[in-house]
């Protein structure tokens, strides 16, 4: 069994800033990020060293128990004796260490290990030196039998530093982490609020890449989402709320169009597209074990298919009955080409119209001006012409 040891004892350098573990880092506290990594690695027990209980730790306990893990809060390392057996393995995080789940799985998938960094790069950032060349990266996996050796040490020891020394003395393998992870922010050590804020900015900027201005509503959604994520304590919950809102907008579009209010239906399509883009952007930031990548991709595809179906129905409902056949053909051609061209090559993605919010707004204006049929036909021809020109250009460049 894999058991996790995390700490919530160290305070920041500023007296009024509180505990390092409670600092927000891109939407989650540092210790919550450590817990999520531990749970993603399969930890079934979590021991948290803290001098007393506080609301953030109560929330952390609920987070662990909701994932099926046992949470043990203790002021003393003696709690390890009852939580870790000699057959277990112990995952240890130092206070303030932030590691990405994917990176942790990569380095912790090969048994017991002490992770290290180049001392020249890491020690100035606050990492603990192990020897002349190496610094401890703030994370390791040890055999459970090493925990028993803590009983031979004085009761007032620093538990985590002592485990590091015992691990080194026991010959636990040392694996180096690329120092570039410190630059990219994939591996960080935070000891004060300003560092947590800087991590949040870098993490959000790196995770949420603004879309091209050729898809302006998407780009605006990315910018707005980045700013909201920087101020949000729970981007995962925010993402769920935005997804629910997108679903309501799409359902509302179907209802409005079905009742004959096609312009309102197309307006709701634009809103739904904006919200779906925000959900996708937050998905780049929020690491979660609950929604695998494959499932997320299928949900994303289904959502966009429903969005296009809502556009199709709204266009048909906006047309007079005697031209609905022409409308069906034009709308099918337009939406079909918008779907098929990117499957051939990403370079065939149509500017502006691939932003479904822009398409919805444009068609709503056309419906209001009573020109939605010729507008849909012209857009379909424009997309077809664009695709043909781009395919010809690609073939010429390959010759």
- Do 42 and 141 belong together in one domain? yes
Lowest average pLDDT, out of 141-150, 227-236, 357-366, goes to: 227-236
Q: Report the distance separating Cα 90 and Cα 111, nearest Å.
A: 11
Q: Of 1, 62, 76, whose CA–CA distance to 32 is shortest? A: 62
- Do 9 and 97 belong together in one domain? yes
CATH number of the domain within which 12 lies: 3.90.550.10
- Do 157 and 58 belong together in one domain? yes
Q: Which domain holds residue 44?
A: 2-191
Report strand pairing: 24-25 vs 2-7: unpaired
Pick the more confident residue, 195 or 335: 335
Q: Report the distance separating Cα 98 and Cα 227, nearest Å.
A: 21
Asked if pLDDT for residue 50 goes beyond 70, the answer is: yes
- Do 212 and 176 belong together in one domain? no
Report strand pairing: 2-7 vs 89-93: parallel
pLDDT the model gives residue 366: 94
- Do 31 and 129 belong together in one domain? yes
- Do 357 and 221 belong together in one domain? yes
β-bridge mates for residue 49, sequence order: 7, 74
CA dihedral 341, 345, 347, 350 (to 10 degrees): 10
User: Distance from CA of residue 368 to its chain's centroid?
Assistant: 39
Q: Of 14, 207, 187, whose CA–CA distance to 104 is shortest? A: 187
Q: What is the mean pLDDT of residues 237-249?
A: 90
Asked whether the beta carbons of 356 and 280 are under 8 A apart, the reply is: no
Q: Of 72, 70, 73, whose CA–CA distance to 9 is shortest? A: 73
- Which residues make Cβ contacts (< 8 Å) with residue 367, sequence separation at least 6? 262, 263, 266, 314, 315, 318
- Do 319 and 288 belong together in one domain? yes
Q: Report the distance separating Cα 318 and Cα 364, nearest Å.
A: 9
pLDDT the model gives residue 203: 78
Q: Of 314, 330, 211, 304, whose CA–CA distance to 262 is shortest? A: 314
Looking at the domain assignment, is residue 198 inside a domain?
Answer: no
- Do 187 and 270 belong together in one domain? no
pTM of the model as a whole: 0.73
Asked whether the beta carbons of 315 and 329 are under 8 A apart, the reply is: no
Helices assigned H by DSSP within 52-127: 55-66, 79-83, 101-107, 119-122
Q: Which two three-digit tokens encode residue 192?
A: 């004060």
DSSP conformational letter for 19? B
Q: Of 41, 44, 81, 26, whose CA–CA distance to 202 is shortest? A: 26
pLDDT the model gives residue 395: 80
List, for residues 73-108, the tens digit of each pLDDT value: 888 877 777 788 888 889 999 998 988 777 888 888
Asked whether the beta carbons of 47 and 24 are under 8 A apart, the reply is: no
β-bridge mates for residue 136, sequence order: 116
Q: What is the mean pLDDT of residues 22-40?
A: 86
Looking at the domain assignment, is residue 197 inside a domain?
Answer: no
Q: Report the distance separating Cα 188 and Cα 215, nearest Å.
A: 34
What is the overall mean pLDDT for the chain?
86
CATH number of the domain within which 334 lies: 1.20.120
Q: Of 54, 64, 41, whose CA–CA distance to 9 is shortest? A: 54
Asked if pLDDT for residue 297 goes beyond 80, the answer is: no
Q: What is the mean pLDDT of residues 289-311?
A: 73
- Do 185 and 254 belong together in one domain? no
Q: Of 271, 353, 349, whose CA–CA distance to 310 is shortest? A: 271
Asked if pLDDT for residue 2 goes beyond 60, the answer is: yes
Q: What is the mean pLDDT of residues 195-200?
A: 82
pLDDT the model gives residue 15: 54
pLDDT the model gives residue 219: 93
Asked whether the beta carbons of 49 and 39 are under 8 A apart, the reply is: no
pLDDT the model gives residue 292: 45
Looking at the domain assignment, is residue 277 inside a domain?
Answer: yes
β-bridge mates for residue 45, sequence order: 3, 70
Looking at the domain assignment, is residue 200 inside a domain?
Answer: no
What is the three-class DSSP state of 250?
Answer: helix
Domain end call among 160, 191, 222? 191
Number of H helices, E strands in the chain: 15, 11
Looking at the domain assignment, is residue 47 inside a domain?
Answer: yes
Looking at the domain assignment, is residue 283 inside a domain?
Answer: yes
Pick the more confident residue, 272 or 201: 272
Asked if pLDDT for residue 17 goes beyond 60, the answer is: no
Domain end call among 191, 219, 236? 191
- Do 301 and 177 belong together in one domain? no
For the chain, the domain total comes to 2
- Do 222 and 125 belong together in one domain? no
List, for residues 146-163, the tens digit of each pLDDT value: 888 887 787 778 888 899
Pick the more confident residue, 107 or 269: 269
- Do 230 and 139 belong together in one domain? no
Q: Report the distance separating Cα 208 and Cα 196, nearest Å.
A: 18
Asked if pLDDT for residue 284 goes beyond 80, the answer is: no
Report strand pairing: 97-99 vs 134-143: unpaired
Asked if pLDDT for residue 256 goes beyond 90, the answer is: yes
Pick the more confident residue, 122 or 77: 122
DSSP conformational letter for 128? P
Looking at the domain assignment, is residue 166 inside a domain?
Answer: yes
Pick the more confident residue, 14 or 162: 162
pLDDT the model gives residue 290: 41
pLDDT the model gives residue 217: 95
pLDDT the model gives residue 291: 42
Domain end call among 148, 166, 191? 191
Looking at the domain assignment, is residue 381 inside a domain?
Answer: yes
- Which residues make Cβ contacts (< 8 Å) with residue 340, sequence separation at least 6? none
């Amino acid at each position: 069994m894999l058991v996790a040891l995390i700490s919530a004892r160290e305070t920041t350098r500023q007296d009024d800033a509180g505990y390092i573990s409670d600092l927000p880092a891109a939407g989650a506290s540092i210790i919550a990020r450590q817990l999520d990594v531990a749970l993603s690695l399969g930890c079934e027990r979590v021991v948290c060293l803290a001098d007393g209980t506080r609301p953030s730790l109560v929330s952390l306990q609920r987070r662990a128990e909701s994932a099926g893990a046992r949470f043990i809060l203790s002021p003393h390392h003696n709690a390890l004796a009852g939580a870790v057996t000699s057959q277990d393995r112990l995952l240890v995080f130092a206070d303030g260490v932030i590691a990405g789940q994917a990176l942790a799985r990569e380095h912790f998938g090969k048994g017991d290990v002490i992770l290290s960094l180049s001392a020249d790069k890491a020690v100035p950032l606050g990492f603990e030196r192990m020897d002349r060349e190496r610094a401890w990266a703030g994370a390791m996996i040890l055999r459970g039998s090493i925990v028993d050796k803590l009983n031979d040490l004085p009761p007032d020891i620093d538990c985590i530093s002592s485990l590091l020394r015992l691990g080194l003395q026991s010959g636990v393998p040392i694996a180096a982490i690329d120092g570039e992870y410190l630059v990219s922010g994939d591996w960080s050590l935070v000891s004060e609020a300003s560092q947590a804020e800087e991590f949040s900015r870098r993490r959000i900027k790196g995770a949420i890449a603004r879309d091209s201005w050729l898809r302006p509503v998407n780009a605006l959604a990315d910018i707005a989402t980045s700013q909201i994520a920087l101020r949000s304590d729970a981007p995962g919950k925010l993402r769920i709320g935005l997804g629910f809102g997108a679903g309501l907008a799409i359902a509302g579009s179907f209802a409005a169009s079905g009742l004959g209010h096609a312009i309102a239906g197309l307006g709701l399509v634009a809103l739904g597209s904006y919200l779906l883009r925000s959900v996708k952007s937050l998905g780049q930031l929020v690491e979660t074990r609950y929604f695998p990548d494959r499932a997320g991709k299928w949900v994303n595809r289904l959502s966009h298919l429903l969005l296009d179906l809502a556009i199709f129905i709204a266009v048909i409902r906006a047309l007079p009955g005697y031209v609905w056949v022409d409308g069906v053909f034009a709308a099918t051609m337009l939406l079909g080409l918008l779907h098929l061209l990117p499957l051939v090559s990403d370079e065939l993605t149509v500017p502006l119209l691939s932003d479904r919010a822009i398409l919805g707004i444009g068609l709503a204006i056309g419906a209001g001006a009573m020109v939605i049929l010729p507008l849909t036909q012209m857009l379909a021809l424009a997309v077809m012409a664009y695709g043909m020109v781009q395919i010809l250009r690609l073939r010429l460049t390959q010759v």
